[in-house]
Each structure stands twice: as C-alpha cells, then as structure tokens.
Amino acid sequence: MALILTYLGKGGCGSTTVAIAAAKQRSRAGQRVLLVIQDVTPAPALLLGQPLGAEPAELEPNLWAMQFQAATQLEKSWDEVKTLEAQYLRTPFLKAVYGQELGVMPGMDSALALNALRQYDASDRYDVIIYDGSDATATLRMLGMPEILDWYLRRFRGVFQQSDVGRVLSPFLQPMASAVLAVDWSGDVLDQPTGQVRSQLEDGRQAVTNPSRVAAFLVTTPTAGAVATARYLWGSAQQIGLTIGGVLVNSGHLNDDQATSFAPLPQVTLPQVVEQGWESAIDALPDPAQWAAAAPRPVSVDEATKTVRLFLPSFDKTQVKLTQYGPEVTIEAGDQRRNLLLPKSLQGKAVAGAKFQEQHLVISFS
C-alpha cells in the first residue's frame, strides 16, 4: 500500500512544481515514488527536463513519472470490462467492440484516473504516489467518487427492493440470472453483482479518509484570490473526508491575517525553483506523512455524548445545510454534499441540534 499525495491550489500557484519537488524529496529519502501528472501538454516534461509517456518511466533512482492519458487508460479499462463479461456471461456481446474505437466522454477522465491510481497502489511497486491533477476541484470530486458511488448503489438498491417493480421482478431474477450467467447467484441476487464493486468502493472510501493512505496539501501565493481559493479547497476537502496536512506558500510570505486564516494548519514558505533551483525547494518541504498525521480530522464521533464533529474550515453556518435521512445525515457546504452514514449506536436517533464551534460543525443527537 502506498501513501497517495496531491497538491491543491488555484491555477498558476505552482502546484505542479511543488508536486515534482515533493516527488524528488521522497525518492531521495529512499522511498519508491510514482509521479502521475494529468497535464498532457509539454509543460511538465520541460519542468522535469525529460520526456514523459503514458506508462511509468524511471527518471532517477526511486522516481518514476508518467502523464495520465485518458484514451490509453480507457482502452485498458475496456479490456478489463470485456474480461469480466466473458467471466460472467455465457455469450459475451462486447467482444466485437474494441477499446481503440472508444472516445473519452466528458467526466470520464476522473473515473479513469481514480481507477489507475487504485491499480498502481495495488501493485505494491511504490511507497508514495503523487497525483498532480489539472484542476483542484476535479481532483476533489475524483477522490470523493468512492463514497458518492457507494451511496448511489446503497440507496437505489434499497429503493428498487421496496418498489412494486422490485417485488414483482425479484422472484424471477434468480432463475433468469442462473440461465443467462455462468455462476450461481444464490441468496439476495441484488447483493451479488454489486458485491465486488461495493468492496472496492468501501476500500476507496476508507483510504481517502485515512491520512496514512491519502493526504493533500494546499498550495497558495499571497494574492487574495489564491488564498481565498485555497481556503475554499480546504473546506471542500473535509466534505469528502480528505485530510489536509498543511499549507505550502509560493512566491512570497503570507501576511498575519492570511496566515491566521489557515490556523491550525502548519505553513511553510517555499523558495522559487526558477531562481534557486530544485534543491532549495526540496530542502524546504516538510515530511508529508508527519504533517498529515498531525492534521485535524475531517470527522470525529463521540458515541458517549451522542455527538458528531465535522471540521468545516472556511464555511460559516449560513453556508451549511443539514438534512437527516434514516441512518444518514446529509451535509451541504459550498458546492460539496456529503452523505454521512452514522455509527449503529446513533442510527435511528434524531438530530437534536447543530452548532459551529472552533471551525467544527457539532451535531448532537437525542
């Protein structure tokens, strides 16, 4: 299992430069590092001084790098789909469609990138994987996919089972599945086809919320727009359970008010790579694992006091909407929505109140 890191900031703040410096730092510390860059333009190769391709290539000892190419990843994923189809269906019908024919639809990039990260992580070839996305908001949506997709499967499966259509069709699904598919789906047929997917989604969700598995860092400059964007990304990251380890400042120093607005995150100012070279930036970067381990947790539950604390910096109570649906609480903040599945001890209990306290939304249950 690798530690997956990403760097979030407003466009032009130097996130790619920081990601490269971090990759060099970790590789020189003896860790096996994979740097995945989503930008397919020549710019990253110019920064690295070496060409990049669609497959990991070793740039220096312990450091591999690649440019994420959606079309190539789509072709690989399509081959996997066809393999699964041949495994479960007696007469596969996708075999006549080839991955080379497929075009990348809008929104596919994030799902393909997430799947690629999952595969590289599972390979056990790397200790650290650094993902440099082309857009910070898209990166957050990508990392939030496991939780969101798991909610859709969980929610609509229940809706279907409780509907008249579900009750009418259920007696016929098992014999029909046995006749069409090459495997026996005994028990609840609706659980079987989604079981493997649910397991992968749960693994992904747990990884994103575990700072020893996935962590992010904010990258900003002292300009007002960059600081405001970084603070927004900080709050949005909490909505997917992603730990933000600290703030990395490019092109100058934050003033006192700006620095205070990121408290309690640790902050460091990075020297300009163009002026002082890679070595100075590498030396200035902190150990990401240590910073992530000490960062505030997005969610904490106190079952004894029947409270849930959500860390929501950069948002105030007027920007947050709270709704309860059965065993879940939906929290809307900014452009992010999270469906928080409550622990069993709190399921069935109604929300008694909610208040902001030291950048936390504290929800109490009766």
**What confidence category does residue 203 fall into, taking pLDDT thresholds of 50, 70 and 90?**
confident
Which is nearest to 129 in space by CA: 23, 42, 239? 23
Alpha carbon distance 136, 148 (integer Å): 18
- The answer to whether the CB of 74 falls within 8 A of the CB of 81 is no
Q: Confidence band (pLDDT; 50, 70, 90) for 85?
A: low
Q: The tokens of 158 are what? A: 């229940």
Which of 51-65, 250-264, 337-351 has the weakest average pLDDT?
337-351
What is the pLDDT at residue 146? 82
pLDDT of residue 193 exceeding 50: no
For residue 337, what are its two tokens?
């929505």
Q: How far apart are CA 229 and CA 226, in angstroms?
A: 5
- Taking every pair of Cα atoms in the chain, the longest distance, rounded to a whole number of angstroms, is 71
Residue scoring higher pLDDT (121 or 75): 121
Domains of the chain by start residue, with CATH: 3-74+101-149+205-294 (3.40.50.300), 155-194 (no CATH), 299-365 (2.60.40.790)
pLDDT at 310 over 80: yes
The stretch 159-184 carries a mean pLDDT of 55
Most confident of 67-76, 127-136, 334-343: 127-136
Query: Is the predicted pLDDT of residue 59 greater than 50, yes or no?
Result: yes
pLDDT in tens, 216-227: 999 999 999 999
Give the global pTM.
Answer: 0.81
What mean pLDDT comes out for the span 196-201? 58
239-246 average pLDDT score = 94
What is the 3-class SS of 72-84, one letter each residue? HHHHHHHHHHHHH
Which residue type is seen at 62? Answer: N
Q: Is 213's pLDDT higher than 90?
A: yes
Q: Is the pLDDT of residue 165 over 60?
A: no
What is residue 122's three-state secondary structure?
Answer: helix
* CB-based contact 158:251 (threshold 8 Å): no
- DSSP for 297-317? PSEEEETTTTEEEEE-TT--G
pLDDT of residue 166: 57
Q: Cα separation of 274 and 280, whole Å?
A: 10
Q: Give CA torsion, residues 257, 258, 263, 267, to 10 deg.
A: -130
Helix (H) or strand (E) holding 63: strand 63-67
pLDDT tens digits, one per residue of 266-282 = 999 999 886 778 999 99
What is the SS3 assignment for 261? coil
- Alpha-carbon distance of 218 to 19, in angstroms, equals 11
Q: Give the pair of three-digit tokens for residue 138.
A: 């898209």
pLDDT at 326: 78
The residue that leads in pLDDT, 146 or 107, is 146
pLDDT of residue 341: 83
Residue matched to tokens 């609509």: 156
Task: State yes or no: pLDDT of 33 exceeds 90.
Answer: yes
